Amino acid sequence: MPTFFEAAFELEKNQQSFVVVTLVSGRGHVPQDPGAKMIVTSEGLHFGTVGGGKVEARAISFAQGFLSESESEPRTIVWNLQKDISMTCGGEVTYLFEKHANDAWVVRIFGAGHVAQALVRVMSELPVSLTCVDTRDEWLEKLPKNQANLKIFRSDNLSTWVDSEVQSSDEFFVSVTQGHSTDVPVLEALFRRFPTPKYIGVIGSTTKGIKIRAELEARGISKTQLEQLRVPIGLDIGTNHPGEIAISIAAELLKVRDQGRI
Q: For 204-221, how does the pLDDT look when each residue is reduced to its tens digit (9 = 90+)?
A: 999 999 999 999 999 999
Name the architecture of domain 106-257: 3-Layer(aba) Sandwich (3.40)
pLDDT confidence bin for 155, thresholds 50/70/90: very high
pLDDT confidence bin for 262, thresholds 50/70/90: very low
Domain ranges of the chain: 4-100, 106-257
Query: What pLDDT score was predicted for residue 128?
Result: 86
Q: Are 187 and 218 in contact (CB under 8 A)?
A: no
Rounded-to-5 percentages of helix, strand, coil across the chain? 35, 25, 40
Phi–psi pair at 24, nearest 5 degrees: -75, -45
**Most confidently predicted of 9-18, 29-38, 207-216:** 207-216
More confident residue, 5 or 88: 5
What confidence tens digit (pLDDT) does each residue in 50-63 have? 987 899 999 999 99
Query: What pLDDT score was predicted for residue 100?
Result: 87
Please give the average per-residue pLDDT across 132-161, as a whole number.
Answer: 94
Residue 122 has pLDDT above 90, yes or no: yes
Secondary structure of 153-199 in the HEC alphabet?
EECCCHHHHHHHHCCCCCCEEEECCCCHHHHHHHHHHHHHHCCCCCE
Q: In what order do the strands lie in the sheet with 91-100?
A: 44-48, 37-41, 18-28, 91-100, 75-80
